[in-house]
Amino acid sequence: MKALITANLDESSRDRLTDDLGMDIEYRPIDDRTERLAPGELEPLLDGVEVFVVGFEGVSADVMDAAPDLKIIACTRGGPDANVDIIAATERGIPVLYAPGRNAVSVADFTLGMLLAVTRHIAHSHHLLHVGEYTGKPRDDSAAGGEREDVTWGVAKGSPYVELKGPELEDKTFGIVGLGAIGRKVAQRAKGFDVELVGYDPFVDGDTMAELGVEKVELGELCERSTFVSVHVPVTDATRGLIGEEEFALMSSETYFINTARGAIVDQDALVAALEAGELRGAALDVYDREPLPDDHPLLQMENVVTTPHLAGAAEEVIDRHSKMVVDDIASVLDGESPEHAANEETLTLASDVGDD
């Protein structure tokens, strides 16, 4: 059985495919390349392939038609519809396996880091030191009068101690938009800061949220009440532009906005306008409506905005996690069992003959 892997897959999972499942694999991980494989490069590699483990390459109907032996598509992402045409795969009887929640821990950790970075000026003060704003000749003892040394940058007007003060998290209201795998991990971590948690998710009932320590509210109420608003929903027709001018208008001038989900969920022009008008206290953003950001983007000029280049899901453990998830499910399909995660379960009865030709 021939398999093509263009995702990053850990060594133990590759060994399972070859040693336990008897596959002849070709490994072309994205980490070894500078770009995704274009269709013209991908299609020849799929000749005779029955199992395709994909990370970020586009798998369109045309690509599937160029791979007539293809029986399983395993996408190592939490949302395979971002690069796999699920409808086309279903029409061709090809199961699409995927890895929901693979980076939930990674993104949740990063979200709390972003929140602290923007509220306590961690990223901005780091930048100011590196560009020489607060460097200078050291003083041996800035206080020079007490029984112990008190060496500081200064505590008077103009000092970082005064100019870069920010709020503690304790006793503030933390609003979580989306209580899926990532939102729930964020809630677990945020509780450690003794915040009041409110959440908006039309697909999660109030009892479930209560078990998470989160009060279920509507989106408008969340925006009005929250000092910190963090977004954790996938991009769908219902969530595209979910946070826009109306939602930002409901937030107070003390609100910090965090987005580690997807840029399309937020009206970025409305966000920029709210920040420029002082209607928000700050923002921490890992995703944008277009990536990479252009050099002259207004977000890059704002001292109260922390920007990172789509890194929230980039923890080392994510590859190990998604590798095990998709290989477990591939093994299940080959054994005639139901996989844990299939985007089109209706195709599974048609996949029992994989490798039997």
Q: What are the residue numbers of the active site?
A: 262, 291, 310
Which amino acid is it at 334?
L
Pairwise CA distance, residues 278 & 256, whole Å: 11
Question: Which tokens go with 315?
Answer: 């923890």
Report residue 158 as tokens. 């103009």
Tokens of 35: 């770009």
Dig out the tokens for 225 from the structure.
């009440």
Beta pairing class for 51-54 and 196-200: unpaired
Place of tokens 């998709």: 326
Q: How many Å is the Cα radius of gyration of the chain? A: 24
Segments of the chain assigned E as strands: 2-5, 24-27, 51-54, 72-75, 96-97, 173-177, 196-200, 215-216, 228-231, 256-259, 282-285, 305-307
Cα–Cα distances (Å) from 274 to 167, 175, 283, 289, in that order, read 20, 18, 10, 16
Angle between helices 104-119 and 316-334 (to 10 degrees): 160
* Host H or E run for residue 327: helix 316-334
Tracing tokens 């200064």 back to the chain, one arrives at 154
